[in-house]
């Protein structure tokens, strides 16, 4: 009897423990986690060294039930300039309807169209009575020029109508041409992207065909932390919109601010592959949104002062602040990383973190491509080719030195191929592909 | 009425019509001009209103910025300013300049971002002291809101032809100078909704920057160069920026008005002209009618008088016994009889004419042998023909030609045709009767002068005589053919004129087939 009671008590304890762990887990499951790693754990002692700090944010999976996810505040901005006539506009309409149908009655939907002027076809409103909205979309026809800036501005104005309601704000911009009314420099639209990201509005850009300005579209997406797509075949538009909306529907954190501080004499030198603020020993990176289950990371090159044998020193502290869609509050999580120092070369080389090193290669390759394209834009073809070749050399030897898997080596070798295509002159479509892919790589975009 | 009088009447009517037309046209021109000037005023007002609205939004944002700068606590100003710039979409770049210590923000202490580098390059003239922050009030391009204190302001600055807006403030104690550069893109995006509606009227509104590039546009796209435009500057914060309101031609209102007035004037003139034409036509018709009636009366009087004179003369001679010879007496009596028949024919014609005119003539159709009728009529006229020295040729078939018609009417019509032929017919008159179906029933042919082509239908009009002078040698009322046609047409038949081969006339009597 005593034994039975004892067993019962044990089982009860185990059950309670399990339940407690599950409950604890369920709380933890809805939080963003932060990991900080170095490209190697052990550094040569007594010499200053350059290290790469990788801060990884792991987003929790999206809410399981539709009513748990935060409402979406979506504004689709469609180009209806003359060049969109025919299949392009028809597919864009289908894509917009596809997006609209994925929304629920709690979400807001707006549709702005532009040619040389801007028109709000559907003002921001709950996506409840969709028949009227769909008929509006069906009735769309093509017009004249391309007032892209005005279109985005008006799309933003529609999103702003419901900005304070704890929604996921998103503009999807579709264009197939060069902006010719209003500000049309890529940097202008980039600045617009910065301003919008400060308001918590991300702009996803979808470029169709070979005629649009990919610099402008990627800048706008990049600076507002949205996605970017290059759609060569307009029949893919509905699929792209659906994928993009899948992303938006799974947003779990917004207004993400990543702060990395380097204590004990380490000093950040540059941020690889991302824009951010770098001052003294602090780096600040802003991300607009994190999607459920997504892993986003930032790489920071850090100067590590000389350390003595067997020293253990803190290299970086990371702090992530974000608006959680689960708790509807601003949450924060911290993590830090330490390095050790050793005279043993074997220990040093064995401590390499392959995953971080592979990311370094990938991000630097993407960066290299974008810089080469920029040089090419300025007519400095030779420099662009040399940049790609030099970086190929550097990254290949980095990959070889650290005995990285073949994938990294291939990524580095790809730069050689790019160099030869830049040398012979790349087509507009190749350029778009290169630009979009390198941005997607740098931004760790889910859908590509 | 004389022709000159009618011409004068026409002229008198045309003059006021033309006067009304030209007055209407001038009024229309005037109306159009005033409409156009009104439209231009409206366009100008729209441009100014829009410019004022945009300027107002910019000014509100600038004021908010200056208020935020002023509210920064002196103690922790640098950090707070930086945080402010990082969170506000409108702020592009913050700066902080401390006398003695130089520029603290965007600062050394880390590599500058590209944006910060560009910022320092743009505003280098200010930070290096080559350009004064505050100018005397009359020199200021931008706005200062506390003009006397020279403590704060917003200044527009052009760098590489691009406009930049800087809001700054000076701390009166520490003399620290700080502020933010406004994000022009954000400001523009605030303006965008002002251009998302259609402007009133058929106008196009365009916001243009200092380089004349369109920033926003609303209203219909202009395919061609604008015909009319109004423009308003955006104000001191935005040198050379302006709002243009354009129209692609005459505004719709004026265009429609012109069409309306044009149609009105056109229809008025058309009505006046057609009224005048009708009036003149009526006057001429009455004139001609009256003339023919006068002629008819004198003709009929003449026609009556001639046989009467003969009858009276021969009757008196017989009465007084001045004709001793028996043969002579008989001849005189015959003449009197002939003249009486002529009178009867004439009176019958006149009576018939009035009956036909008033559709009171009654017909009694019966089966008539047209050949027999023609033959007897020819026999009757044989003597008259001989007296006149005319050869009467008969082409009448021996067997009967039956038609359903009023015998008297046909007889009178044929008699009138024979009468005419005797009067004008020259040396030979031929009477032909044909019998085939669809063919002319009776033809009367002569070798007279014939009828000229233009008058072949006119001869059937009442009172018409081809030679209508009173002095003509041939007497007549001008009713014979009119009556003949009237009698036959009333019964479904007709009389037609054809020129005869070899000269002369051919009158055909068509009779309705009877089966």
Q: Average pLDDT, stretch A50-76?
A: 87
pLDDT by residue (tens digit) across B93-131? 999 988 888 788 887 555 677 788 888 888 888 888 787
Partner-chain contact A277 B87, CB within 8 Å? no
On whether the CB atoms of residues B187 and B165 are closer than 8 A, the answer is: yes
Interface of B with A in 159-218 (CB under 8 A): 183-186, 188-189, 191-193, 195-196, 214-218
Contacts of A269 in chain B (CB under 8 A): 111
Read off the pLDDT band of B138 (50, 70, 90): very low
Q: For B24-33, B175-184, B263-272, B297-306, which range has the lowest pLDDT when averaged over its residues? A: B297-306
Among residues A376, A362, A380, which one has the least CA distance to residue A438?
A: A362
The shortest CB-CB distance from B192 to any of A143, A154, A198 is to A154
Smallest CA–CA distance, residue B74 to chain A, in Å, is 22
CATH of the domain at B369: 3.30.565.10
Q: Average pLDDT, stretch B394-415?
A: 86
Residue of B nearest to A114 (CA): B196
Directed axis angle between helix B3-71 and helix B184-191, to 10°?
A: 140
Partner-chain contact B109 A279, CB within 8 Å? yes
Domain boundary (B250, B282, B312) is at B250
Co-location of B371 and B242 in the same domain: no
H-assigned helices in A310-405: 345-350, 354-377, 381-401
Does residue B37 sit within a domain? yes
First-last CA distance in chain B:
53
Among residues B506, B511, B486, which one has the least CA distance to residue B496?
A: B506
Residue tagged 């003969």 (tokens): B310
Contacts of A195 in chain B (CB under 8 A): 89-90, 183, 185-186, 189
Contacts of A189 in chain B (CB under 8 A): 185
Smallest CA–CA distance, residue A98 to chain B, in Å, is 25
Plot region of B476 (φ>0 → left; ψ -120 to 50 → alpha; else → beta): left
Predicted pLDDT of residue B153: 83
> Average pLDDT, whole number, for chain A?
85
Partner-chain contact A118 B192, CB within 8 Å? yes
Q: For A40-49, A120-129, B344-353, which range has the lowest pLDDT when averaged over its residues? A: B344-353
Q: Tokens standing for A56?
A: 């990884």
Domain boundary (B250, B279, B312) is at B250
The dihedral built from the CA positions of residue B300, B301, B302 and B304, taken in this order, carries a sign that is positive
Helix (H) or strand (E) holding B243: strand B242-247
Residue of A nearest to B195 (CA): A118
pLDDT by residue (tens digit) across B246-278? 886 655 555 666 787 788 888 888 888 888 889
Partner-chain contact A194 B217, CB within 8 Å? no
Predicted pLDDT of residue A8: 63
The A108-114 sheet, strands edge to edge: A118-126, A108-114, A72-79, A168-175, A201-208, A228-231
Q: Average pLDDT, stretch A127-133?
A: 86
The shortest CB-CB distance from B185 to any of A117, A181, A191 is to A191
Co-location of B241 and B374 in the same domain: no
Does residue B284 sit within a domain? no
CA-to-CA distance for B38 and B34, rounded, in angstroms?
Answer: 6
| Residue B298, burial from CB neighbour count under 10 angstroms (0-12, 13-18, 19+) | exposed
Predicted pLDDT of residue A265: 81
What percentage of chain A exceeds 70 in pLDDT? 93
Q: What is the 3-state secondary structure (H, E, C) of A207-236?
A: EECCCCCHHHHHHHHHHHCCCEEEECCHHH
On whether the CB atoms of residues A420 and A412 are closer than 8 A, the answer is: no
Contacts of A280 in chain B (CB under 8 A): 109-110
Residue of B nearest to A270 (CA): B111
Partner-chain contact B215 A278, CB within 8 Å? no
Q: For A18-32, A73-87, A139-153, which range has the lowest pLDDT when averaged over its residues? A: A18-32
Partner-chain contact A154 B217, CB within 8 Å? no
pLDDT at A9 > cutoff 80:
no
Question: Cα B294 vs. chain centroid, distance in angstroms?
Answer: 43
pLDDT at B159 > cutoff 70:
yes
Contacts of B110 in chain A (CB under 8 A): 278-280
Co-location of B245 and B115 in the same domain: yes
Does residue B239 sit within a domain? yes
Q: What are phi and psi of B173, to 5 degrees?
A: -85, -60
pLDDT at B337 > cutoff 50:
yes
Does residue B350 sit within a domain? no
Predicted pLDDT of residue A18: 53
pLDDT by residue (tens digit) across B210-227? 888 888 888 877 666 666
Does residue B314 sit within a domain? no
pLDDT at A319 > cutoff 90:
yes
Among residues A389, A357, A385, which one has the least CA distance to residue A373?
A: A385
Mutate to test the interface with A, among B121, B192, B248 (most CBs of A within 10 A): B192
CA-to-CA distance for B310 and B338, rounded, in angstroms?
Answer: 10
> Average pLDDT, whole number, for chain B?
81
pLDDT at B472 > cutoff 60:
no
Q: Tokens standing for A445?
A: 């975009």
Partner-chain contact A118 B186, CB within 8 Å? no
B23 vs B259, more confident: B23
The residues with which A270 forms a beta bridge, in sequence order, are: A301
Partner-chain contact B221 A144, CB within 8 Å? yes
Residue of B nearest to A285 (CA): B86
CA-to-CA distance for B510 and B441, rounded, in angstroms?
Answer: 5
Domain that holds residue B104: 1-250
Predicted pLDDT of residue B64: 92
pLDDT at B77 > cutoff 80:
yes
Read off the pLDDT band of B76 (50, 70, 90): confident
The residues with which B230 forms a beta bridge, in sequence order, are: B245
Contacts of A188 in chain B (CB under 8 A): 185
Domain boundary (B233, B250, B267) is at B250
Predicted pLDDT of residue B387: 80
Long-range contacts of the stretch B157-162 (C-beta < 8 A, 24+): B157/B122, B157/B123, B158/B210, B158/B239, B159/B121, B159/B122, B159/B123, B161/B210, B161/B211
Predicted pLDDT of residue B120: 86
Question: What single string gives the DSSP state of each residue in A36-97?
Answer: EEESBSEEETTS-EEEEEEEEEEPPPPPSSGGGSPPEEEEEEEE-SGGGTTHHHHHHHHHHH
Does residue B437 sit within a domain? yes
Predicted pLDDT of residue B438: 67
What percentage of chain B exceeds 90 in pLDDT? 8
Predicted pLDDT of residue A276: 82
Partner-chain contact B216 A118, CB within 8 Å? yes
Burial B197-210, CB ≥16 within 10 A → b, else e: eebeebbbbbbbbb
Q: Does B464 touch chain A (CB under 8 A)?
A: no
Partner-chain contact B215 A183, CB within 8 Å? yes
The shortest CB-CB distance from A116 to any of B110, B192, B217 is to B217
Does residue B282 sit within a domain? no
Co-location of B82 and B204 in the same domain: yes
Residue of A nearest to B218 (CA): A117
B277 CB-near residues (< 8 Å, 6+ apart): none
pLDDT by residue (tens digit) across A250-295? 888 888 899 999 887 888 888 888 888 887 788 988 888 888 888 8
Co-location of B370 and B231 in the same domain: no
Mutate to test the interface with B, among A113, A114, A117 (most CBs of B within 10 A): A117
Predicted pLDDT of residue A334: 93
Co-location of B84 and B214 in the same domain: yes
Query: Rounded to whole angstroms, what are the CA distances from A233 to A98, A239, A439, B104?
Result: 17, 11, 20, 51
pLDDT at A27 > cutoff 50:
no
Residue of B nearest to A189 (CA): B185
Contacts of B121 in chain A (CB under 8 A): none
Count of structural domains within chain B = 2
Does residue B312 sit within a domain? no
CA-to-CA distance for A440 and A204, rounded, in angstroms?
Answer: 12
Read off the pLDDT band of B148 (50, 70, 90): very low
Read off the pLDDT band of A299 (50, 70, 90): very high
Predicted pLDDT of residue B235: 80
């Amino acid at each position: 009897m005593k034994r039975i009671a004892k067993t019962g008590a044990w089982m009860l304890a185990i059950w309670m423990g399990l339940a407690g762990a599950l409950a604890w887990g369920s709380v933890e499951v809805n939080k963003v986690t932060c990991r900080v790693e170095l490209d190697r754990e052990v550094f040569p002692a007594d010499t200053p060294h350059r290290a790469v700090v990788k801060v990884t944010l792991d987003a929790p999976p999206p809410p399981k039930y539709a009513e748990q996810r935060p409402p979406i505040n979506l504004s689709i901005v469609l180009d209806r300039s003359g060049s969109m006539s025919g299949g392009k506009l028809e597919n864009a309409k289908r894509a917009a309807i596809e997006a609209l149908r994925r929304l629920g009655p709690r979400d807001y939907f707006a549709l702005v169209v532009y040619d040389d002027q801007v028109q709000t076809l559907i003002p921001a409103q709950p996506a409840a009575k969709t028949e009227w909205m769909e008929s509006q979309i069906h009735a769309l026809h093509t017009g004249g020029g391309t007032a892209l800036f005005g279109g985005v501005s008006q799309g933003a104005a529609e999103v702003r109508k419901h900005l304070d309601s704890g929604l996921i704000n998103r503009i999807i911009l579709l264009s197939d041409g060069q902006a010719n009314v209003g500000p049309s420099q890529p940097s202008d639209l980039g600045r617009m992207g910065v301003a919008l990201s400060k308001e918590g509005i991300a702009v996803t850009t979808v470029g169709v065909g070979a005629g649009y300005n990919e610099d402008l579209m990627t800048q706008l997406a990049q600076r507002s932390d949205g996605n970017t797509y290059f759609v060569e075949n307009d029949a893919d538009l509905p699929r792209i919109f659906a994928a993009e909306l899948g992303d938006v529907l799974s947003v779990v954190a917004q207004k993400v601010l990543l702060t990395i501080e380097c204590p004990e004499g380490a000093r950040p030198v540059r941020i690889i592959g991302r824009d951010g603020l770098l001052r003294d020993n602090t780096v600040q990176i802003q991300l607009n949104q994190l999607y459920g289950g997504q892993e986003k990371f930032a790489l920071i090159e850090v100067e590590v002062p000389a350390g003595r044998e067997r020293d253990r020193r803190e290299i970086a502290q990371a702090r992530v602040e974000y608006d959680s869609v689960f708790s509807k509050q601003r949450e924060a999580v911290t993590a830090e990383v330490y390095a050790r120092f050793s005279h043993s070369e074997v220990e040093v080389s064995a401590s390499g973190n392959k995953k971080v090193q592979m990311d370094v290669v990938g991000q630097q390759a993407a960066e290299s491509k974008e810089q080469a394209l920029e040089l090419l834009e300025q007519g400095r073809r030779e420099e662009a080719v040399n940049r790609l070749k030099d970086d190929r050399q550097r990254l290949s030897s980095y990959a070889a030195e650290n005995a990285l898997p073949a994938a990294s080596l291939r990524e580095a070798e790809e730069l050689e191929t790019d160099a030869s295509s830049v040398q012979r002159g790349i087509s507009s479509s190749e350029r778009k592909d290169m630009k979009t892919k390198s941005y997607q790589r740098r931004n760790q975009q889910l859908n590509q | 009425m004389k022709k000159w009088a009618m011409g004068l009447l026409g002229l008198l009517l045309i003059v006021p019509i033309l006067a009304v037309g030209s007055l209407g046209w001038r009024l229309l021109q005037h109306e159009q001009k005033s409409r156009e000037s009104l439209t231009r005023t409206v366009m100008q007002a729209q441009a100014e209103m829009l410019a004022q609205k945009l300027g107002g939004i910019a000014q509100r944002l600038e004021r908010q910025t200056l208020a935020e700068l002023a509210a920064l606590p002196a103690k922790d100003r640098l950090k707070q300013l930086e945080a402010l710039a990082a969170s506000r979409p409108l702020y592009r770049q913050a700066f902080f300049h401390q006398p003695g210590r130089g520029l603290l923000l965007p600062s050394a202490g880390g590599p500058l971002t590209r944006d910060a580098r560009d910022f320092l390059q743009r505003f280098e003239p200010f930070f290096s002291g080559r350009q004064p922050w505050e100018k005397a009030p009359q020199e200021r391009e931008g706005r200062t809101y506390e003009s006397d204190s020279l403590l704060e302001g917003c200044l527009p600055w052009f760098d590489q032809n691009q406009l930049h807006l800087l809001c700054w403030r000076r701390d009166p104690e520490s003399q620290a100078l700080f502020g933010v550069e406004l994000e022009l893109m954000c400001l523009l995006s605030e303006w965008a909704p002002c251009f998302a509606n259609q402007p009133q009227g058929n106008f196009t509104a365009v916001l243009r920057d200092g380089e004349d590039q369109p920033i926003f546009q609303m209203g219909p796209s202009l395919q061609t160069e604008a015909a009319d435009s109004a423009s308003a500057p955006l104000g001191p914060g935005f040198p050379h920026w302006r709002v243009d309101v354009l129209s692609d031609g005459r505004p719709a209102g004026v265009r429609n008005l012109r069409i309306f007035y044009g149609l009105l004037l056109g229809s008025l003139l058309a009505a006046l002209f057609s009224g005048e034409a009708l009036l003149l036509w009526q006057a001429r018709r009455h004139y001609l009618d009256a003339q023919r009636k006068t002629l008819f009366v004198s003709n009929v009087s003449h026609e009556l008088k001639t046989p009467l004179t003969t009858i009276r003369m021969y009757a008196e001679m017989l009465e007084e016994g001045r004709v001793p010879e028996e043969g002579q007496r008989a001849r005189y009596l015959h003449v009197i009889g002939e003249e009486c028949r002529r009178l009867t024919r004439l009176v019958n014609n006149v009576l018939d004419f009035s009956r036909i005119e008033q559709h009171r003539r009654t017909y009694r159709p019966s089966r008539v042998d047209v050949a027999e009728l023609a033959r007897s009529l020819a026999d009757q006229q044989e003597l008259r023909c001989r007296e006149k020295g005319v050869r009467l040729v008969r082409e009448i078939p021996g067997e009967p030609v039956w038609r359903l018609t009023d015998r008297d009417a046909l007889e009178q019509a044929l008699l009138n045709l024979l009468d005419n032929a005797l009067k004008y017919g020259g040396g030979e008159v031929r009477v032909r009767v044909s019998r085939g179906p669809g063919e002319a029933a009776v033809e009367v042919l002569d070798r007279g002068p014939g009828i000229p082509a233009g008058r072949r239908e006119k001869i059937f009009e009442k009172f018409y005589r081809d030679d209508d002078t009173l002095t003509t040698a041939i007497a007549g009322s001008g009713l014979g053919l009119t009556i003949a046609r009237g009698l036959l047409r009333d019964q479904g038949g007709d009389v037609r004129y054809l020129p005869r081969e070899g000269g002369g006339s051919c009158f055909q009597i068509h009779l309705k087939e009877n089966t």
